[in-house]
Structure 1
Amino acid sequence: MVKHTLFLLLFFVIIGLRAQNTFSVQGVVKDNESKMVLTNVSVFLEGEDTMMVTNVSGKFSLSFSNKGEYILQISLGEYTIKRIPVILEDKNIDLGDIFLIRDITLEKSINLITITDDELLDEEVNSNALALLQSTKDVFLNRAAFDFGQAFFRVRGYDSQYGEVYLNSLPMNKLYDGRPQWNNWGGLNDVIRNQQYSNGLTTSEVTFGGILGNTNIDLRPSKLRAGTRLSSSISNRTYSGRLMATYNSGVEKEKFAYIISGSRRWAKQGYINGTLYDSYSLYGTMEYFLNDKNSFSATAIVASNRRGRSSAITEEVFKLKGNKYNPYWGNQDGKIRNSRERHIREPLFLLNYHHESEKFRLNAGLAYQT
Structure 2
Amino acid sequence: MKGKLLFFMTFLLSLSGYAQTGLKGYVINSVTSDPVIGVQVTLQGQNRSVTTDAKGEFLFQSIAAGEDILAFNSPGINAKVQKVNILANRINEVGDVRVDVIEFAHNTALIGTIDADILGDDDDASQEISSTVILSNDVYLKQVAYQLSPGRFKARGYNQIYEQTYINGVTFNDQNRGVFNYAAIGALNDLTRNGNVVNYNNVNDFTFGSIGGTTDINMRASNYAKGGKVTLSYTNRNYYLRGMASYSTGLMDNGWAVTGAVGGRYSDEGNVDGTFYRNISYALAVEKQLDGGRHSISLTTFGSPVQRGQQGASFQEVYNLVGDNLYNPNWGYQDGKKRNARVVKAYDPTVILSHIWQINDKTNLTTGIGTHYGRYGGTALNWYNAPDPRPDYYRYLPSYYADSEDIYNKYTDLWRSNNTSVTQINWDELYHINALAAREGQESALYMVEERRSDLFETSLNSVLNTIIGRNHKLTAGIGLRHSRSKQFKTVDDLLGAAYVLDIDKFAERDFPGDGQTIQNDLNNPNKKAKEGDVFGYDFRLNINSANVWVQNQYTTRKIDFYYGTKLSYTDFYRDGKMKNGRYPTSSYGKGKTHTFIDYGLKAGLTYKISGRHFLTGNISYQTEAPLPNVAYISPRITDNTVDLESGKVLSMDINYIFSLPSLSGRIAVFQTNFYDQMKRSSYYHDAERTFVNHVLTGMNQVHRGFELGLDYKINNNWGVNFAGTVAQYYYSNNPDGTISYENGKEVDVEEKVYLNDYYIGGTPQIAGTIGVSYFYDFWFLNLNLNGFAQNYVDIAPIRRLASSYAGITPGTDEYDAYKHLTGQERYGSAATLDFSIGKILYLPNKHSINFNLSFNNILNRKNIKTGGYEQGRMDVTSANKFPSKYYYMQGFNCFLNTSYKF
Mark yes or no: TM-score above 0.5: yes
TM-score by length of 2: 0.33
Matched with 2:114 is: 114
Aligned residue identity for 1:330: G
Matched with 2:178 is: 178
Matched with 1:6 is: none
Matched with 1:311 is: 312
Aligned residue identity for 1:103: V
Q: What do the CA deviations read for 1:49-72 (whole angstroms, capped 9, x no partner)?
A: 999988888697999xx9xxx999
**C-alpha distance in 1 between matches for 2:298 and 2:237:** 37
Matched with 1:103 is: 101
Kept in 2, the 8 Å contact 1:115–1:131? The answer is no
Counterpart mapping for 1:130-141 below 5 A: 130=130, 132-133=132-133, 136-141=136-141
**Structure 1 residue 216: deviation in Å?**
0.9
Counterpart mapping for 1:1-370 below 5 A: 29=26, 33=32, 77=74, 103-104=101-102, 109-111=107-109, 112=111, 114-123=114-123, 126=126, 130=130, 132-133=132-133, 136-290=136-290, 291-321=292-322, 322-356=324-358, 357-370=360-373
Matched with 1:14 is: none
Kept in 2, the 8 Å contact 1:274–1:337? The answer is yes
Indicate the structure with greater strand content: 2
**C-alpha distance in 1 between matches for 2:280 and 2:244:** 10
**CA 1:143–1:304 in structure 2 vs 1: closer, same or farther (change >3 Å)?**
same
**Structure 1 residue 329: deviation in Å?**
1.1
Kept in 2, the 8 Å contact 1:268–1:276? The answer is yes
**CA 1:51–1:348 in structure 2 vs 1: closer, same or farther (change >3 Å)?**
closer
**Structure 1 residue 280: deviation in Å?**
0.8
Q: What do the CA deviations read for 1:77-120 (whole angstroms, capped 9, x no partner)?
A: 5567697999x9xxx9999x958566236896351582553532
**Structure 1 residue 133: deviation in Å?**
4.6
Kept in 1, the 8 Å contact 2:285–2:299? The answer is yes
**Structure 1 residue 151: deviation in Å?**
3.5
**C-alpha distance in 2 between matches for 1:50 and 1:135:** 20
**CA 1:41–1:320 in structure 2 vs 1: closer, same or farther (change >3 Å)?**
closer
Kept in 2, the 8 Å contact 1:221–1:285? The answer is yes
**C-alpha distance in 2 between matches for 1:118 and 1:240:** 12
**C-alpha distance in 2 between matches for 1:366 and 1:318:** 49
Kept in 1, the 8 Å contact 2:41–2:71? The answer is yes
Q: What do the CA deviations read for 1:198-244 (whole angstroms, capped 9, x no partner)?
A: 12221111100112121111112322333211111111111111111
**CA 1:141–1:74 in structure 2 vs 1: closer, same or farther (change >3 Å)?**
closer
Q: What do the CA deviations read for 1:305-339 (whole angstroms, capped 9, x no partner)?
A: 11000112222222232134221112223322111
**C-alpha distance in 1 between matches for 2:223 and 2:197:** 16
Kept in 2, the 8 Å contact 1:122–1:309? The answer is no
**C-alpha distance in 2 between matches for 1:210 and 1:347:** 26
Which runs of 5 or more structure 2 residues have no equivalent in the other structure?
1-16, 374-903
Kept in 1, the 8 Å contact 2:50–2:58? The answer is no
Q: Between Structure 1 and Structure 2, how many residues are aligned? A: 342
Indicate the structure with greater helix content: 1
**C-alpha distance in 1 between matches for 2:58 and 2:279:** 42
**CA 1:325–1:54 in structure 2 vs 1: closer, same or farther (change >3 Å)?**
closer
Kept in 2, the 8 Å contact 1:128–1:179? The answer is no
**C-alpha distance in 2 between matches for 1:41 and 1:154:** 26
Matched with 1:7 is: none
Kept in 2, the 8 Å contact 1:128–1:160? The answer is no
Q: What do the CA deviations read for 1:132-178 (whole angstroms, capped 9, x no partner)?
A: 25652323333433344244333333211112110011111011110
3-state SS of paired residue (1:311): coil
**C-alpha distance in 2 between matches for 1:206 and 1:228:** 29
TM-align CA RMSD: 4.2
**C-alpha distance in 1 between matches for 2:215 and 2:38:** 22
Kept in 1, the 8 Å contact 2:221–2:250? The answer is yes
Please say which structure displays the higher CA radius of gyration: 2
**CA 1:106–1:62 in structure 2 vs 1: closer, same or farther (change >3 Å)?**
farther
Kept in 2, the 8 Å contact 1:194–1:224? The answer is no
**C-alpha distance in 1 between matches for 2:58 and 2:21:** 13
3-state SS of paired residue (1:144): helix
Kept in 1, the 8 Å contact 2:188–2:281? The answer is yes
Kept in 1, the 8 Å contact 2:238–2:270? The answer is yes
3-state SS of paired residue (1:273): coil
3-state SS of paired residue (2:145): helix
3-state SS of paired residue (1:132): coil
3-state SS of paired residue (2:141): helix
Identity between Structure 1 and Structure 2 (%) = 25
**Structure 1 residue 294: deviation in Å?**
1.2
Aligned residue identity for 2:372: Q
**C-alpha distance in 2 between matches for 1:56 and 1:152:** 36
**C-alpha distance in 2 between matches for 1:25 and 1:359:** 12
Kept in 1, the 8 Å contact 2:125–2:312? The answer is no
TM-score by length of 1: 0.75
**CA 1:343–1:186 in structure 2 vs 1: closer, same or farther (change >3 Å)?**
same
Kept in 2, the 8 Å contact 1:169–1:206? The answer is yes
**C-alpha distance in 1 between matches for 2:137 and 2:147:** 15
Matched with 1:16 is: none
Matched with 2:644 is: none
Which runs of 5 or more structure 1 residues have no equivalent in the other structure?
1-19
Aligned residue identity for 1:342: V
**C-alpha distance in 2 between matches for 1:315 and 1:184:** 34
Kept in 2, the 8 Å contact 1:261–1:283? The answer is yes
Aligned residue identity for 1:173: N
**C-alpha distance in 2 between matches for 1:26 and 1:204:** 22
3-state SS of paired residue (1:130): coil
**Structure 1 residue 287: deviation in Å?**
1.0
